[in-house]
Amino acid sequence: MGEDMECREARQKIQDYIDGRLPPRQEGDVREHLGACGPCAAEEADLRGVGELLRRWSAARVGEREQKLSALWTRVQADIEERRKPWHAHLLGRWFWVPAAAAVAVFGLLFYPSNGTRAPFHPNSYDVTVESIESDTATVALVDKGEGLPRVIWIIENGKS
Amino acid sequence: MGSPDPKPWGAVPAIASIAFLLFAHIVVASPDAPVAVDVGVVLASNEGTTMDPALSSIGNQLQSMFTYSSYRMVDRLGRTLNVGETGEFGLPGNRSMRVTPIPSEGSKVRLAVQIMEGDRNILTTTLGLKRGGMVLVGGPAYQKGVLILIISAK
């Protein structure tokens, strides 16, 4: 009868024993009982087997879903980072293209590469200062035909023109 | 805890754009800003009576200054040069022209211009022009006429 009580008590404690949740003294009592009682030892072995199966199954499920979980975590982190940004960062990001586009347009107009199809000449001034003028091989003349006409530097190549 | 009201900042893009354009204007108008050098190479001759449509905007001036009957633009060259940077332009008849913007004051640009024929220096000059201004350099013989270079700087 005492042995029956001992088995009943022992089986109630086997799972806690496996999980390491028993106080040292009770753990010693259960270990001693399992060493002496074949049926309880078999029960313990069964429970340990079930626990191992459950662990393997859980690990397998996590492995299957690892990619999805990783992607979900990445999205959560990105959302957290986004919410941490100051509100004006969103505004700057949204409107930054306006000055950027203006910059591209201005520089495009100002520094458009030259080619033979450019706009006709439309000078806004014929005011030209000739600070110095010389030639090693020709005679040069500065011609000014009056307001409204461009100034001309005329090269008279000796013996040619 | 909603998103912040963007209305007080609605004018930011417009202000930024205007500020940028003003800044760009200052940069472009400053004496040390890059200079866009534009060179039209015109063959003037008495062969026919052609006025190249590309020269229509200054055709009257050309005809009132010179006595040639035909004006044909044979090339149009351009470079944007920084102050101190030399741009070389190939011209007909084994000629070349080197243009270097040099430091200036105010709104004018100063250009050091040298025209070579082979190794021979046929013109060295320093010009001061307003941005958008124009000067003509002519005389070198080419084919049955002469070359006239329309030089403008912006």
Residue B105 and residue B84: Cα distance in Å, rounded?
15
Host domain of residue B116:
32-153
pLDDT given for residue A100 in this prediction: 78
Q: Number of helices (H) and strands (E), helices first, in chain B?
A: 2, 8
Chain centroid offset of residue B108 CA:
13
Selecting from B110, B134, B141 the residue whose C-beta is nearest the C-beta of A121 gives B134
**Chain mean pLDDT for chain A:** 80
pLDDT given for residue A42 in this prediction: 92
Lowest mean pLDDT among A136-145, B23-32, B62-71: B23-32
Structure pTM?
0.55
CB count, 10 Å around CB of B111?
23
When pLDDT is averaged across residues B127-153 and rounded to a whole number, the result is: 91
Query: Per the domain annotation, does B19 fall within a domain?
Result: no
pLDDT, one tens digit per residue, over A71-108 is: 888 888 888 888 877 776 766 666 777 777 888 877 66
Residue B9's pLDDT band, with cuts at 50, 70 and 90, is low
pLDDT given for residue B2 in this prediction: 45
pLDDT given for residue A61 in this prediction: 77
Residue B125's pLDDT band, with cuts at 50, 70 and 90, is very high
pLDDT given for residue B13 in this prediction: 64
pLDDT, one tens digit per residue, over A14-43 is: 989 998 889 999 999 999 999 999 999 999
pLDDT given for residue B1 in this prediction: 43
Is the pLDDT at A122 greater than 90? The verdict is no
Q: CB B133 to CB A127 under 8 A? A: yes
**Cβ atoms of B73 and B45 closer than 8 Å:** no
Picking from A83, A114, A137, A143 by the largest number of B CB atoms within 10 A of its own CB, the best residue to mutate is A114
Number of domains in chain B: 1
Angle between helices A38-64 and A24-36 (to 10 degrees): 110
- Among A142, A155, A150, smallest CA distance to B136 is for A150
pLDDT given for residue B44 in this prediction: 94
Distance from the B91 Cα atom to the nearest Cα atom in chain A, whole angstroms: 14
Distance from the B5 Cα atom to the nearest Cα atom in chain A, whole angstroms: 10
- The proportion of chain A whose per-residue pLDDT surpasses 90, expressed as a percent, equals 14
Residue B18's pLDDT band, with cuts at 50, 70 and 90, is low
- What is the three-state SS of chain A? CHHHHHHHHHHHHHHHHHHCCCCHHHHHHHHHHHHHCHHHHHHHHHHHHHHHHHHHHHHHHHHHCHHHHHHHHHHHHHHHHHHHCCHHHHHHHHHCHHHHHHHHHHHHHHCCCCCCCCCCCCCCECCEEEEEEECCCEEEEEECCCCCCCCEEEEEECCCC
pLDDT given for residue B126 in this prediction: 93
Q: What is the enclosing helix (H) or strand (E) of B129? A: strand B120-130
User: Residue A139: closest CA among chain B residues belongs to which residue?
Assistant: B122
When pLDDT is averaged across residues B116-137 and rounded to a whole number, the result is: 90
Picking from A111, A155, A158 by the largest number of B CB atoms within 10 A of its own CB, the best residue to mutate is A155
Residue B29's pLDDT band, with cuts at 50, 70 and 90, is low
Residue A67's pLDDT band, with cuts at 50, 70 and 90, is confident
Query: Per the domain annotation, does B135 fall within a domain?
Result: yes
Query: Per the domain annotation, does B43 fall within a domain?
Result: yes
Q: Amino acid identity of A84? A: R
pLDDT given for residue A63 in this prediction: 76
Most confident range (mean pLDDT) of A117-121, A135-139, B78-82 is B78-82
Query: Per the domain annotation, does B7 fall within a domain?
Result: no
Residue B17's pLDDT band, with cuts at 50, 70 and 90, is low
Query: Per the domain annotation, does B8 fall within a domain?
Result: no
**Chain mean pLDDT for chain B:** 84
- Residues of chain B contacting A121 with CB distance shorter than 8 Å: 38, 40, 55, 57-58, 134, 150, 152
pLDDT given for residue A90 in this prediction: 65
What is the interface pTM, i.e. ipTM, of the complex? 0.78
pLDDT given for residue B20 in this prediction: 62
